[in-house]
Amino acid sequence: MQKVYSSAVESIAGLLADGMTIMSGGFGLCGIPSALIEAIQLSGVNGLTIISNNAGVDGAGLGLLLESRQISRMVSSYVGENKLFAQQYLAGELQIEFNPQGTLAERIRAGGAGIPAFFTKTGVGTSVAEGKEVRRFNGEEFVMETALFADVALIHAWKGDFEGNLVYRKTARNFNPMMATAAKTTVAEVECLVSTGSIDPDQIHTPGIFVSRIVHVPDPEKRIEQRTVRRLAEETV
């Protein structure tokens, strides 16, 4: 069971095909699989459908794949931070399917957990529910949403072992754990690669069964989108 690859490029080798669907973890630029996204850019694969909460910013994260015009469709909840996105969308080069953030998270979790569809109150009475079944339970209306599943999931974790067990750090967890479960092949970049047995088994966020390939990316560059600070005297925001 050899899961560790020596570089991001090698870790995705043999997995890619034009037109495939890729999930990419992260919220904003927090917890995104930067090294794996760069490897996707290098591969030149195109016509991609990307499932990701956001689309990066110009020059970082999925913004890289927009620059190289490798993405033809996005499934996201918010793509506000990216000029290139707007340009390509308005030029008709890029399709977008907006999902409410919680619905997106739940559709991915459902995909990994063998749930083909579920009902949620989110979006009832809005354009999100158009064309979807709406049904009453206990007198309230709910809309049916279906599962998402990808060919490949790209994950960023803080710590991983040789078994593929993963631990995330703070709000860099976000979409990564569900995406790790909802793809044919899951590739994880980890900031710390540790020996199997050194992570407390009660504190593993993603069990190794979900992770096929791991690559060690020490000290990844992490950008901050909105640097907000307080002065020492201030108590609150």
Partner 1 sequence: MAWTREQMAARAAQEIRDGFYVNLGIGIPTLVANYVPTGIDVRLHSENGMLGMGPFPLEGEEDPDLINAGKQTISELPETSFFSSADSFGMVRGGHIDLSILGAMQVAENGDLANWMIPGKMVKGMGGAMDLVAGVRRVVVVMEHEAKSEPKLLKECTLPLTGRGVASLVITDLAVFEIDKNSGRGMILRELAHGVALEEVREKTRASFVECL
Site for a second copy in 196-215 (CB under 8 A): 200-203
Closest to a second copy by CB, 65 vs 167, is 167
What binding mask, one character per residue, do residues 47-86 give for a second copy by CB under 8 A, x or -? ----------------------------------------
For a second copy, the closer CB: 7 or 171: 171
Q: Does position 233 bind partner 1 by CB under 8 A?
A: no
* Contact (CB, 8 A) for 215 and 187: yes
Which residues ranging from 56 to 95 are in contact with partner 1 (CB under 8 A)?
A: 76-81, 86, 89-90
Alpha-carbon torsion (197, 182, 57, 40), positive or negative: positive
Whose Cβ is closer to a second copy: residue 92's or residue 116's?
A: 116
Judged by CB under 8 A, the stretch of 5-13, 44-52, 64-72, 111-119 that binds partner 1 is: 111-119
119 lines the binding site for a second copy (CB under 8 A):
yes
Given candidates 106, 152, 188, 214, which one binds partner 1 under the rule CB under 8 A?
A: 106
Q: Is 221 in the site for a second copy (CB under 8 A)?
A: no
177: exposed, middle or buried (C-beta count within 10 Å: 0-12, 13-18, 19+)?
A: buried
53 interacts with, out of a second copy, partner 1, none, CB within 5 to 8 A per kind: partner 1
**141 vs 135: CA distance, rounded Å:** 6
SS3 (DSSP) at 177: helix
Determine the 3-state secondary structure of 57 from DSSP: strand
Distance CA 220, CA 8 (A): 12
For residue 35, the one-letter residue type is: A
Annotate 107-175 with DSSP letters as a single string.
Answer: HHHHHHTT--EEEESTTTTSGGGTTS-EEEETTEEEEEEE---EEEEEEEEEEEETT--EE--GGG-TT
CB 63 → partner 1: shortest distance, Å? 14
Contacts to a second copy by CB under 8 A: 106, 110, 113-121, 135, 137-138, 140, 142, 146, 167-170, 173, 200-203
